[in-house]
Structure formats: C-alpha cells, structure tokens
Structure 1
Amino acid sequence: MNVSAFGLFLLLPLLSTGQIPGQTMSSMPAGHMPMDKASPALPAGEKLGVVAFPVSCAPAVQPAFNRGVALLHDFWYAETEPQFRRIVAQDPHCAMAHWGVAMSLYHQIWQRPDAATMAEGWKQIEQAQSLAAPTPRERAYIAALADFYQPGSQAYPERVQAYAAAMKELYRQYPDDVDAGAFYALSLLAAKAPDDTTVAPEEAAMQVLRPLFVKYPDNPGVVHYVIHACDNPELAPQGLAAADRYGLIAPSGAHAVHMSGHIYARLGLWPQDIDSQLASIRASDAAEAHRLSGLMDEPHSYDFLLYAYLQSGHDAEARAVLAKMPAVLARIDAMPGMGSGFMSGMVAYYQEKLPIFYDLEMQDWAAAANLTPAAGAPPDIAAMAWWARAVAHGHLKQAAAAQADLAAYDRLMASTRGTPRAYAAESTGARITRDEIAAWADYAADRPQDAVATMRAAADLQDKVG
C-alpha cells in the first residue's frame, strides 16, 4: 500500500474508533561514489548480465568494455568509472572509453550532476571527440552524450530532453543495438519532470522495452529499466517477470539484486522482497571481499529489508536491522568524498529514515515525536524528521506541536529552493508529504473533515505517482 493511501486508510477509522495506526513513506535511491582504486581481482564467475557492445578499440579491451556497459546498466557507478578509466589507460586511442567515463558520471533518474561533474563529463566527451571514433555508431553515442554535457545556458531538463532525442535517433538508426534501445528507454525515464503525475514517460519507455525483454531477457539494462518503468502502482504487475529475473542474471551486482524488491514491495510480496534484499547484502559483502565497492549499496537494501520485515510481522528481525545500521553508516561516513557533492546527504538520509519507519510502524508515538534531523542533513532530508513528528503529534492530539512541525517543514522546503536540489521542493513527493503533515495537524486540532479531505488529496496523488 502506498504512503498516503495508507495514511488515509488509517486516519478514517481513527476518527471514529480512536485506534492508533502506523504510517510509512517512500524510499530514495541509494547513492554511489566513484572511487580511485587499483585494478581489483574480479571474483571467479562474476555475473552482471549479458552484454555484447562492439567497439572499434583494441580487441584486448572488448571484454572489459562489455563489463563496463554491464556495470552502467546495473548502476554500479562506483565500479563503472574506474573500469572505463582502466580501458583508457590500456588503449589510449579508444574514444568510447572516454564516453564510458562520461556515462558513469551521469546518474540518470537518481540525481542531477553538480558543476564539477558536468565539467569533467564535458572534458571526457571532448577527449572522445578528439580521438575521432572510426564508426558512425560510436560517433552517434558520443554526440548524444555531448548534447547533455556541452557548455551553455541550457537548464538541466533541456539537456536531458536533448540527450533523449539523440538516443531516439540513434536507436532508430541502429534498431538491432539492444543497448541503444535500453539507454534510450532510460533517457525517457530520466526526462520525466519532478511534478509529472502521469505514467506517460514510463509507458513510453515500456513501448521500447517490452519487445527487447522478450528478445534479450539477459541484458541487464533491459531488465533493470523495465523494473524502474514499472515502479509505480499502475504498471507494477508488468514488472514482475523482470523482478524475478534480474537477480538470476546479475547476482554479482548488489544493486541489481536489490532492484527486484521495488516490484515485490509494490505488490506486497514480502517473502520475495526479504529474500532479494538479503541476497543483495550478500552480494555487497562478496564485492567488498574482492576489493570492489559493495558497501555503498547496503543501506538501500537494509532500508527495503526493514520495511519488508515490519510489513510481515518480523519485528525482532526489524530491530536487528536497525541495530546494524549505525556501524554500516559509520563505515560509509568515513569513506573519502562522503562530505561533498551528491553523497553529502546519504548517511544523514538513512540515519533519519530507518528509525522513522521503525517508530511509526511500531506505533511508538512518543519516540517518533522526539525524532530530530541527523547532524548536517541537507534541508530536504532534515524535513523527514518533521514529517514523522507531525504524524506522531497528530496521533497524540498535540495540535500546537503538529502545527509547529508543518511550519518547520515549510521552512526547510523554502531553504531547499535555494539549493541545487530545488527541484525536490517542487516534486510530487514534496506536495504529498506537506499534505500529510497538514492532515495530521488538522486531526490534532479536531478538524476531522479537513483532515480527511487533505489526506485524501495526498492519497489520490500518491496513487498516481507511486
């Protein structure tokens, strides 16, 4: 059940019976951080899905290039960048290796690159262009990404749309290139506006992906992007076959194994969700044992695991997850680069989110009412604590406190509008969250009709966007 629908479902009987429900909120994609490292000893039998992406580079680097594209498709960006940089070192004339580095810096559907990342991406594209790739197909890939990175006054949405248009043309010219189709579908998902309440972009992506999934069920990009396209209430059932398959074809990729949980959670398939998250954590641990960057994926898997345990009555297991998280996050927080760029809020996000879920699901309103933002949390992440406090103060009928929570949330969203993450404050998620807080403030102030109307509006919007 989605967040606001759950809130409405619980608020309605509470108004007449006095029962005390819990509430949940949606999750945020985990971050990845490029890392400088020596060439790792790859695990024997590593499986990341099947990729055959021909390039005109030295034949000796073709297997490594295929692995790099598989890593791109699996969103294992912390391994993708060093993989392509090793190819650059091995074959300095390989233009497409620079394309691979630039692709590894553009984390589509996760977050928007900062100025330094854009500059480095453009530098890689310039190097790729200077090497004059010998085939029209390779030059088309480089030109498409140049449309995104090239300097100028274009806003981020315009850049994403330009890249998507270029990928559409590339796929039209090379319809047998399964990776072109997969990357085109991903570009359609990335181009969705934060305030878009339709599933039109997802449907457009699925128009590309459905026939590819039938023909290429082992391509990690196809399978992965089907799951993302179907990660909403309307399309979730269409993603089940891909969810069942992804962990089988790419069991070495922690994020790949985790992704099945997005569909299982949508459909309430808690045993499958739990199994997929446990397998993802094992994949993370195995990656770390081989000097690969597996740790960064663990918080997102523990996030889904905690929720699945709570939804299926495994309270002791949920408490165990909560107890593990401080040590995991402390290890991540100590890693280089965690205090800058898009990674700056990752630790704070999970420090806040998991206790919030646990306290609300366990209906511990006193604990939830005393939650505070994690130290150093960006304003849009700090806002989660005030959402949780409002839910608790609503149940406790503490009207003044709930109203103060709403005011604090509004201040933090105003602050967010002055940061590079301003788009988060204009998103459907921000609208839903504010309506939920307002509904609980109305309930605490004995305005039941207003509370239900506001929560219903939030639930209806949540039903559209997932």
Structure 2
Amino acid sequence: MKAISKISSLLILVLSASTLVAQHHRHDAEGGDPNAINAKLGTVHMPVSCQASVQAPFERGVALLHSFWFEEAKKQFQAVTTADPQCAMAHWGIAMTEWRPLWDGMPENRRLAGIAEIDKATALHARTDRERRYIAALSDYLHSDPAQNDKATRAYADAIGALHAAYPDDVEATAFYGLALVASNEPRKALDVLEPGFKAHPDHPGFAHYIIHAADSPQYAEEGLPAAEKYAAIAPDSAHALHMPGHLFARRGMWQEDVDSNLASVRASEYAEEHNLGGVGHQLHADEFLLYAYLQQGKDADARQVLDRLEPLVVHLRSLPGIQDDGMALFITYFQVEMPGIYYMELHEWKSVLAIQEPAGSILAARYYRFWEQAIAAGRLRDAAAADKAAAGAQALYDQMASDNSPIAAEREAAEGTIKAWQSFAHKNDEEALRLISAAADSQDRVGQAEVDIPAREMYADMLLTDNRPAEALVQYRTALKLSPNRFNALYNAGRAAEEAGKPEEARTYFQQLMKTTDRGEHSERSEVIYARNFLLKASSGAM
C-alpha cells in the first residue's frame, strides 16, 4: 500500500433496516453523504433469492466480511434479517462473521452463536441449490467436533471447492474457496485459485486480501506484492485493508511502505471509534507493525512512542462498550508481552526483556511468547537460571498450543527449538545450542516465520558470530537476508561478519544497505549506525 495522507472516503455508518431497504448503491461508488451506503469497500456481486430491496445491503455485508470487518458485517446482515425475515442467506452471513480462521479459529461462544444462525438459515430452506450449498458447507463445519478443527476446515474447503466447481461464474464462491484454502494451510493452492480471480476482478476486496494472507511467508511474499499494492485502494475505508499490505511490505523489508500502511490503518481505527463503529482494536495490530518497522529503520524514538502508548491504549480499549466482541480484543495480552519484547530484543536490551511481566488474564499465546522471548534474552546473557525458568515455563504450556492460533503456534517446532537452543547457550553448551538453532532455522525456513519476528536463521548467525566464527556466520546471514530482507540486526552483523572474515567489499555492501535502510542514519543514534558510517568513510578514503 502506498502512503496515504488521509482517508479519502468515509467509513460506513451502519444503517437502520428502513434505510437499508431504501438505499440501492453500487459498492464501489465514491464520495457523497457519509450516511449513505456508498463507502469505499470494493466491488462485490453476490445475488441471493431474497427481497430485491435487501440485495445491496447484503452485498455490503459480504464486502465487509471480505475485509474481516466482522463487527460491522454482522450489523448489516442483522438489518437484512429485519427487512426480510425469510432471507436465509442473511443468517448465513451472520454465522460467517463468527468464523475467523486466520485470527482465532472458532472459540466455543462464537461457535454456538454461529450454530444458532446457520440453523436458522437451514430451516428457512433457501430457494436455490447454490445458496443451500453455502449454508450446508458452513453448517457442517460449525456442527463438527471442535477437537477436530483442522479436519473440519479441510472438509469445509472441499465443500466450498465443490460449490466453486458447480458454479464457476460465482465470483464470491471463488473468493471464499481461496480463503478456505488459506485457512487449510494450502497457500500454493490458494494462490492458484485467487490470482486468476484477482486478475479478472481487480476491484474485489476478497481476492486482494486473501492473496496477501496466502503469500504471507518469505516463499510467496514477492508473488503477493501486486495484491498488496492494490488492496488499500480497493477498500480504503477498512482499517484492516489499510493494514494488510504491511504484511508483505514487512516480508520484503519495504519498511517505509509498511509504516505508511499502518499509519493509515491507525487513523482509520481512530475514525471508527469516533463514529461508534466496531473493530477499533485493529489499532493494536497496526501499532505492532509500526513498532517493528520503525526499529528496522533505526527510528528508535518513533518506536518508543508506539510502545509508550500501548498500555494507555489497552486501558482505553477495555473501557469501550462491547469491546469483548472486537476481533482483536482477544489478543490484547499478547500485544502486551510481544511489543515490549520486540522493542527490547531489537535494541539488545536483554535485561529489560527478562523484566517483562505477565499481564493479568493472559491468554495462552501471551504466556508462551513471554517465555520464548525471555529464553532468548537469558541465552544472550548466559544466564542459565533464567533460561531454565523460561524453558520450563514454555514446556509446561507447549502441549496446550496445538489448537492455539498465535504466530508462535504456527511454527511450534521452530519456537521450541529456539527456546532449547538459547537454554543450551546460556549453559555454555555452544555446540548443542548451534545444532538446535540450526534445526529450528531449517524448520522455520520450511513453514515460514511469524509476521513480526526475530528469525531463527538470523539468531543462528548471531550465535556463530558470538562464538567468533565469522565466516560461518556470514553464510547464515546471507540466507537470513534473502528470507527477511533489510532487517537492521542482520545487515549490521552481516557487515561485521564479512569484515572479520576478511571480505571488506562484502562488508561494505551490507553497511551501505544499512545506511540506506536507516535513511543514512539521520534518525538513529545507535552505535551500529555510527560504526557502519565510519567503516564506509574509511573505505571511501582508501584507508582500509
């Protein structure tokens, strides 16, 4: 997403049922009355066998679904059920707002709410085979055994795939099939479905959005960039749509684009709150990405500002009515341990990482992440007691992570290997530590790292450099920078490793890139920037 100086169109204000019936606008219209149903969320076309008067608001709900604005989508579909009590697909839409597979799966309270709605949809006997297929696919998923969620998700993807095959001209079936494949952890297959859809329908919010999710790994990030560069313009009224391109910008080390995306998302979240719209918790996710990007740019003061507003923001969000229904509210405690952890780890303030406290009422992912970051810090400090404590805490939680949808859970093998590696390093069992972190890096390289992360491959290189093995470290930094370009720590340490390995020209390349990434160090007082600048000055003067 390119820089956006301000949100150019207004966020949708959810209408009363009578207004919904009266309004008939295309979903890609621009400008006009902020109370009209013409906010910019992309072009969606999903005919249903309900009253003609509710077709436009139904499609508005689908457009909101595609940008994961679940809170406002639910209001749209609920208003449709009031305007047309016989509209089975409106109840399907409400049930769909409870399924958030790329965020938190299906907690029991939302599963039950979804079942109640999908049962209403089934009982209304939709008039077309196509609609009955949509309803049956979701019903089978919601009524499945929660302990077999992965199996149920794959079965849902198969059912939506069959719907897509039976009705190849149904654009929404194609988009929802792509999403189901992403949820089933089949990114290549998802991209093969979504990319032709995006090419044929470049203003459709679902194709662009789901491509970004499918491509959210080092392996596919470059492939997903065209969608990332378009999505914000497709749905500029959605805080999530403004944020999502930052996922791939971060993967490719495009830090300023990442910053621009998430600053726009923060403004959209603030606008949503001012106008009593749902989804204001998106600001936490945008701030998470801002913090990370600023640190890679060496803009530590900006990163500190983001961190300093975290706790006041948490207090404020928790005071808002209905915040428990906000899609991001579940992860508040995760952000409370992850954001300070990332800040201090990137700045190598290891004692500060160890001092991070567990927030009251922490979710499992937050507790696990805290042990993960503290194991790394303890290893860096060679603090065996702290490392043992962190590793024991993580192990006690590890077996509970199977159904958790946190970034850590997505790479469980790599996360556990990283913890054990730094525990060994803390005990000065360096060869064992290197073996473990190498295996963790190999595992992470296969499955992809989390979206805001310290890559295991880079940590492997750091260990080797700490052990005065610069040539071996340099090999690992080269790979790390291919997978995660333009990370500050990797660029600097790759330069130092190259220098110590007797490769001054390669060192110069890394230090030059570091200076470029940090805008010539104009916003950074880090010692690493000063060192790189002095190295380059010496190199240019022929003193080396």
* The two structures share one fold, judged by TM-score above 0.5: yes
SS at match of 1:155: helix
Distance in 2 between residues matched to 1:390 and 1:364, nearest whole Å: 14
Q: In 2 relative to 1, CA 236–426 (structure 1 residues): closer, same or farther, beyond 3 Å? A: closer
Q: Which of 438, 463, 477 matches 1:456?
A: 438
Q: Percent identity?
A: 40
Choose 135-144 or 177-186, whichever is displaced more: 135-144
User: Contact 1:233 / 1:465 at 8 angstroms: preserved in 2?
Assistant: no
Q: In 2 relative to 1, CA 423–178 (structure 1 residues): closer, same or farther, beyond 3 Å? A: closer
| 1:133 and 2:140 aligned | no
Partner of 1:278: 263
User: Contact 2:68 / 2:240 at 8 angstroms: preserved in 1?
Assistant: yes
Distance in 2 between residues matched to 1:108 and 1:428, nearest whole Å: 13
SS at match of 2:244: helix
User: Contact 1:333 / 1:347 at 8 angstroms: preserved in 2?
Assistant: no
Superposition deviation, residue 408 in structure 1: 1.4
Distance in 2 between residues matched to 1:299 and 1:344, nearest whole Å: 9
SS at match of 1:295: coil
The TM-score normalised by the length of structure 1 is: 0.85
Partner of 2:25: none
Q: In 2 relative to 1, CA 149–325 (structure 1 residues): closer, same or farther, beyond 3 Å? A: same
Superposed CA offset, 1:215-264 (max 9, x none): 01111111101101100111110000000000011010000110001100
User: Contact 2:70 / 2:327 at 8 angstroms: preserved in 1?
Assistant: no
Superposed CA offset, 1:255-305 (max 9, x none): 011000110000000010000000111111222222212421100000001
Q: Which of 232, 244, 256 matches 1:259?
A: 244
SS at match of 1:103: helix
Distance in 1 between residues matched to 2:393 and 2:145, nearest whole Å: 37
Q: Which of 58, 64, 75 matches 1:65?
A: 58
Q: In 2 relative to 1, CA 97–244 (structure 1 residues): closer, same or farther, beyond 3 Å? A: same
| 1:413 and 2:406 aligned | no
Partner of 2:179: 186
Q: Which of 351, 373, 376 matches 1:366?
A: 351
RMSD: 2.5
Partner of 1:318: 303
Partner of 2:40: 47
Choose 132-141 or 234-243, whichever is displaced more: 132-141
SS at match of 2:281: helix
Q: In 2 relative to 1, CA 350–62 (structure 1 residues): closer, same or farther, beyond 3 Å? A: same
Q: In 2 relative to 1, CA 322–410 (structure 1 residues): closer, same or farther, beyond 3 Å? A: same
Distance in 2 between residues matched to 1:166 and 1:262, nearest whole Å: 29
Q: In 2 relative to 1, CA 367–38 (structure 1 residues): closer, same or farther, beyond 3 Å? A: farther
Q: Which of 149, 153, 156 matches 1:156?
A: 149
User: Contact 2:70 / 2:97 at 8 angstroms: preserved in 1?
Assistant: yes
Distance in 2 between residues matched to 1:340 and 1:213, nearest whole Å: 31
Question: Of the two, which has the highest radius of gyration?
Answer: 2
Q: Which of 225, 228, 233 matches 1:240?
A: 225
Distance in 1 between residues matched to 2:263 and 2:368, nearest whole Å: 29
Q: In 2 relative to 1, CA 185–413 (structure 1 residues): closer, same or farther, beyond 3 Å? A: same
Partner of 1:430: 412
Partner of 1:223: 208
1:60-99 aligned at under 5 Å gives the runs: 60-99=53-92
User: Contact 1:345 / 1:377 at 8 angstroms: preserved in 2?
Assistant: no
Distance in 1 between residues matched to 2:91 and 2:423, nearest whole Å: 53
Q: In 2 relative to 1, CA 309–412 (structure 1 residues): closer, same or farther, beyond 3 Å? A: same
Distance in 1 between residues matched to 2:414 and 2:398, nearest whole Å: 13
Distance in 2 between residues matched to 1:339 and 1:105, nearest whole Å: 13
Partner of 2:369: 384
SS at match of 2:361: coil
Superposition deviation, residue 334 in structure 1: 2.5
Aligned residue pairs, count: 420
User: Contact 1:246 / 1:260 at 8 angstroms: preserved in 2?
Assistant: yes
Amino acid at match of 1:212: G
Distance in 1 between residues matched to 2:72 and 2:238, nearest whole Å: 10
Superposition deviation, residue 50 in structure 1: 0.9
Superposition deviation, residue 153 in structure 1: 8.1
Partner of 2:94: 101
Q: Which of 330, 338, 347 matches 2:332?
A: 347
Structure 1: runs of 5+ lacking an equivalent: 1-35, 193-200
Superposed CA offset, 1:63-102 (max 9, x none): 1111100111101111111211111111111111001001
Amino acid at match of 2:262: Q
Superposition deviation, residue 428 in structure 1: 4.8
Q: In 2 relative to 1, CA 340–381 (structure 1 residues): closer, same or farther, beyond 3 Å? A: farther
Q: Which of 170, 177, 181 matches 1:177?
A: 170
Superposition deviation, residue 42 in structure 1: 4.3
Partner of 1:12: none
Choose 119-128 or 168-177, whichever is displaced more: 119-128
